[in-house]
Structure 1
C-alpha cells in the first residue's frame, strides 16, 4: 500500500509496511523509542504537522496523525524540520544522517543512540520511501 505524503493514509501505510517488512523487523529488533515528527510549514504545507510513531523492537505499535506537539507526552525522539527537508529525505535528495548532523533535521533525544543505530534509521527511511506514492 502506498499513499500521498503527508496524510493519515500515508502514516497508516507506513505502519503496515513496518509491521510486515521482514528486513525492517530484523534490523530494528533492538530499537526502543517512539518518534514524533514535527514538520514545519513550507511550500505546499501551510500549517505545522505532527505525526507520531510508537516503534518498539522492529514493530510499530501505533501511529497518530495531527494535533499539537504538547499532545504527545515525552516521546523518546522528536525530529523537527521544514517540510522541504522531510520531502528531500523521502526523495533521496538528502541523506537522513547528514540532515541530523548538519541540523537540517533537528533531533531532540539521544543523537548518540541514533548514530549507534544507523542501519535501523536508514531502513526506516527505506520503508518511508517505499510507501510514498506522491508528495503533496
Structure 2
C-alpha cells in the first residue's frame, strides 16, 4: 500500500512514520533542521507548478509537515529540488540519496556540509520515506 506522491496523504504518512520510528528517533536525536522538497514536473514544458513539501525535523521527530501553496516560502536550512521522477527513484530505492545529492540529481540549497556530517540521519530519513510507499 502506498500513497500518491506528492500528496498530503503521503506527507502525513511520512510524518507519522518518522514520529513512530524508534530507530529514526535515536539516529536523528541531534538533528535540528527544517526543509523544503521542491518537486518539479517531469516535463519542464508542461507548465505544471512544483509541489512544495515542508518538514520541520527536530531531535528525531517531525514537528510539522505541510504542502505549501501560494504562500511565501519560509527560510529553511535545506531545500532539495528535483523533478518528480528523481524523488521517486530515491523513495523507491533505485537511487541512493547521497549519490543523488552529490551528482545534483537532487539539487541542495543550504547546509550541504550539515548533510555530509549527518549521512546516517539522511539515510534513515529515506528509510522511513521508503516505508510509506508510493502509488501511482
TM-score with structure 1 setting the length:
0.91
Structure 1: gaps (5+ residues)? none
| Equivalent position SS for 1:33 | strand
Within 2, Cα distance between the matches of 1:71 and 1:129?
Answer: 29
Which runs of structure 1 show a deviation greater than 3 angstroms over 4 or more consecutive aligned residues?
none
- Tell me if structure 2 keeps the 8 A contact 1:5–1:132: no
Within 2, Cα distance between the matches of 1:71 and 1:17?
Answer: 28
Residue deviations 1:20-78 (CA, integer Å, cap 9, x gap): 100000000010100100011016xx43110000001100000111315x622211100
Equivalences, count: 134
Where does residue 69 of structure 2 map in the other structure? 67
Where does residue 34 of structure 1 map in the other structure? 34
| Equivalent position SS for 2:10 | helix
**Residue 83 in structure 1 maps to residue 84 in structure 2:** yes
TM-score with structure 2 setting the length:
0.91
The alignment yields a C-alpha RMSD, in angstroms, of 1.9
CA offset at residue 133 of structure 1? 4.0
Structure 2: gaps (5+ residues)? none
Counterpart among 50, 53, 63 of residue 51 in structure 1: 53
